[in-house]
């Protein structure tokens, strides 16, 4: 199986690039943010809980997020592999994912980080807010909180994969096509 963690700050282009990867490598895309948003839309209990954190730009608690992710993975029989988008966001989530994949006799192939400067991120998020319909993209205070949470809690997750020699950084600056080309070259070399 080819299991990729696509990593990077909010606005780095993880969702956009995931689309390209699933098409080329026939992988299953699991975005915890998308699953939370679907639950909010469906007005489930999980959605209600997640919304209270997401609206503030905070992380949904690990326990809840990990269980939800495991459920989502388990729904697929004999997949080619997964793209984890927006997960893991804490070291606890990363350790839980490793243990869970081991039970399935598989593992993470690589974590690929999209490296984008903060000024560029803010510009992309402001632009995305125009048509994403995401309330967390529209409020500058919430955006700031998401960037801070990324720096403090999520960025250290790369060390988790670096320690396993699985961390690869690629330049996330340029056109969507430029970044896709770099990403494909990286995945082809795995």
Nearest approach, Cβ of 110 to ligand AMP (angstroms)?
A: 18
**89 lies in the binding site for ligand AMP (CB under 6 A):** yes
* Strand positions, DSSP E, the chain: 4-7, 28-31, 82-85, 110-115, 167-171
The per-residue b/e assignment along 98-123, b for 16 or more CB within 10 angstroms, e otherwise, is eeebeeeeeebbbbbbbebeeeebbe
Is 65 a binding residue for ligand AMP by CB under 6 A? The answer is yes
Which of 4, 6, 60, 147: binder of ligand AMP (CB under 6 A)? 60
Nearest approach in angstroms of CB 189 to ligand AMP is 26
Q: Which of 36, 131, 21 is nearest to 83 (CA)?
A: 21
The whole-angstrom separation of Cα 3 and Cα 86 is: 14
The H-or-E segment that residue 72 falls in is: helix 62-74
Binding of residue 160 to ligand AMP (CB under 6 A): no
Q: Which of 82, 87, 161, 167 binds ligand AMP (CB under 6 A)?
A: 87
Q: Can residue 53 be called a binding residue for ligand AMP (CB under 6 A)?
A: yes
Query: Could you say which of 8, 9, 13, 57 contacts ligand AMP (CB under 6 A)?
Result: 57
Under the criterion CB under 6 A, does residue 113 sit at the interface with ligand AMP? no
**By CB under 6 A, which span of 56-64, 117-125, 171-179, 182-190 interacts with ligand AMP?**
56-64
Q: Is 39 one of the binding residues for ligand AMP (CB under 6 A)?
A: no
Establish if 32 lies at the interface with ligand AMP (CB under 6 A).
yes
How many residues in total does the chain contain? 190
Is 84 a residue that touches ligand AMP (CB under 6 A)?
no
Q: In whole angstroms, how far apart are CA 112 and each of 13, 120, 180?
A: 12, 19, 12
Q: Is 11 helix (H, G, I), strand (E, B) or coil?
A: coil
Residue 183 interacts with ligand AMP (CB under 6 A): yes or no: no
CB 30 within 8 A of CB 75: no
Residues of the shown chain interacting with ligand AMP in the complex, contacts defined by CB under 6 A? 10, 32-33, 36, 53-54, 57-60, 65, 86-87, 89, 93, 136, 146
Enzyme catalytic residues = 14, 89, 128, 134, 146
């Amino acid at each position: 199986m080819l299991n990729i963690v696509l990593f990077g700050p909010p606005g780095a282009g993880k969702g956009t690039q995931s689309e390209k990867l699933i098409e080329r490598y026939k992988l299953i895309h699991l975005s915890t943010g998308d699953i939370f948003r679907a639950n909010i839309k469906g007005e489930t209990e999980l959605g209600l809980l997640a919304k209270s954190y997401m609206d503030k730009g905070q992380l949904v608690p690990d326990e809840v997020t990990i269980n939800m992710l495991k459920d989502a993975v388990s729904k697929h029989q004999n997949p080619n592999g997964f793209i984890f988008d927006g997960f893991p966001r804490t070291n606890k989530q990363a350790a839980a994912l490793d243990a869970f994949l081991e039970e399935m006799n598989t593992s993470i192939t690589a974590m690929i980080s999209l490296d984008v400067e903060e000024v560029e991120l803010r510009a992309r998020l402001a632009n995305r807010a125009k048509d994403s319909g995401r309330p967390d993209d529209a409020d500058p205070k919430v955006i700031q909180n998401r960037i801070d949470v990324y720096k403090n809690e999520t960025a250290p997750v790369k060390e988790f994969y670096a320690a396993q020699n699985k961390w690869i950084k690629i330049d996330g600056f340029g056109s969507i096509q430029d970044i896709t080309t770099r990403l494909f070259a990286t995945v082809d070399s795995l």
